[in-house]
Amino acid sequence: MTENKLRIDRLYAQLIERFVRWAETCSDIRAAVIVGSRARVDHPADEWADLDVMIITVDPERYVSKSDWIENIGNPLLTFIESASDGDNMERRVLFEEMLDVDFAIIPKEQVQKLLQGGVPTEYEAQIANVFGRGMQIALDKDGMATQLQKIISSIENLPPRPPTQHEFLEVVNNFIYHTVFTVKHLRRGELWWTVTCLNCHMQRLLLQMMEWHALATHEWNYDTWFRGRFMEEWAHPQALKELRSTFAHYDEEDIKNALLASIDLFHWIAIETAEKLSYQYPTKADKHVTRWIKTCF
């Protein structure tokens, strides 16, 4: 462990202590949980890791609309709001002195209560378990809610994973094939911004999903593919990783064309191989028809 990592860990620990002391005085904050790498045992935080704090509150609007409360925790250089990965809640990102990067996820208390009611977990709840179940440290728990949440997350996390249905598989494949046509049309129109963002963002997310399914179908359905591409170098197929290097485009017409063709080739073989392993149908006719059309355009 380097001296700099020890220093950074100490600074984050001090920041957490200040946050807890302040949150204890706030009646609307009912619980606070540390998640992510600074709460994980597997792949723990290195010196570049940020701090992820989930604030469970009865007044989420206060922490979204105002930022003065941050000064009770440290000396902020800047702060801003962005949507959380679930698309429903908001996160306040803060950069403190010493480049301490903290992500405060603002979670309404009633949302957590709904999760604690039990029943069959939704896809979203399973995603929460995949993230939080890997590391979750209770920093504050006024009502016992965080303790209950930790138990339910553990139970969801331990549920056996399931492969995609035939419908879910085809939705991803058809989405990808459709956007190959979309990208070519806008590229021929000269709209480089639209084409490069569609290829590098939307289509790459679909490619990532297929790479995860391919890895799971190749190994077993409790094989760990983490989430959102984390530690991909450890779980993805080596050949896919090699070819992936050619699938991201620069803001250049020729480079976009080459990256698109590379993306099509990579997606094609991992999707077909995944379909074979799952005994699923693959839209071969549509795929070949679109591929021929793309080649004529180029």
Same domain for 122 and 186, yes or no, is no
Same domain for 190 and 150, yes or no, is no
Is the pLDDT score of 231 beyond 60? yes
- The CATH code of the domain that includes 285 is 1.20.120.330
Q: Which residues span the domain enclosing 127?
A: 3-157
Q: What is the pLDDT of residue 21?
A: 97
Same domain for 148 and 203, yes or no, is no
Of 139, 157, 175, the position where a domain reaches its end is 157
Q: What is the pLDDT of residue 229?
A: 87
Same domain for 170 and 153, yes or no, is no
Number of domains present in the structure of the chain: 2
Same domain for 137 and 173, yes or no, is no
Is the pLDDT score of 232 beyond 60? yes
Same domain for 15 and 139, yes or no, is yes
- What percentage of the chain exceeds 70 in pLDDT? 90
C-alpha to C-alpha distance for 217 and 223, rounded to whole angstroms: 9
| pLDDT, tens digit, 9 for 90 and up, residues 42-71 | 777 788 888 999 999 999 999 999 999 999
Of 157, 187, 205, the position where a domain reaches its end is 157
Q: Which of the residue ranges 106-120, 183-197, 211-225 would you say has the lowest mean pLDDT?
A: 106-120
State residue 27 phi and psi, 5-degree precision: -65, -25
Which pLDDT band holds residue 1 (cuts at 50, 70, 90)? low
Same domain for 190 and 143, yes or no, is no
Mean pLDDT of 97-115: 90
Question: How does strand 51-57 pair with strand 100-108?
Answer: parallel
Mean pLDDT of 271-280: 97
Which range in 4-8, 154-158, 176-180, 224-228 is most confidently predicted, on average pLDDT? 176-180
Same domain for 149 and 175, yes or no, is no
- What percentage of the chain exceeds 90 in pLDDT? 69
Is the pLDDT score of 129 beyond 60? no
Burial class, 103, CB count within 10 angstroms (exposed 0-12 / middle 13-18 / buried 19+): middle
Total Cβ atoms within 10 A of residue 12: 21
Same domain for 15 and 143, yes or no, is yes
C-alpha to C-alpha distance for 75 and 98, rounded to whole angstroms: 10
Is the pLDDT score of 153 beyond 80? no
Of 103, 128, 157, the position where a domain reaches its end is 157
Q: What is the pLDDT of residue 206?
A: 98
Same domain for 150 and 271, yes or no, is no
Give the burial string for 28-53 (b: 16+ CB within 10 Å, else e).
ebbbbbbbbbbbeeeeebeeebbbbb
Average pLDDT over the chain, rounded to an integer = 89
Is the pLDDT score of 113 beyond 80? yes
Q: What is the pLDDT of residue 4?
A: 85
Same domain for 151 and 171, yes or no, is no
Same domain for 224 and 280, yes or no, is yes
- The CATH code of the domain that includes 24 is 3.30.460.10
Is the pLDDT score of 123 beyond 60? no
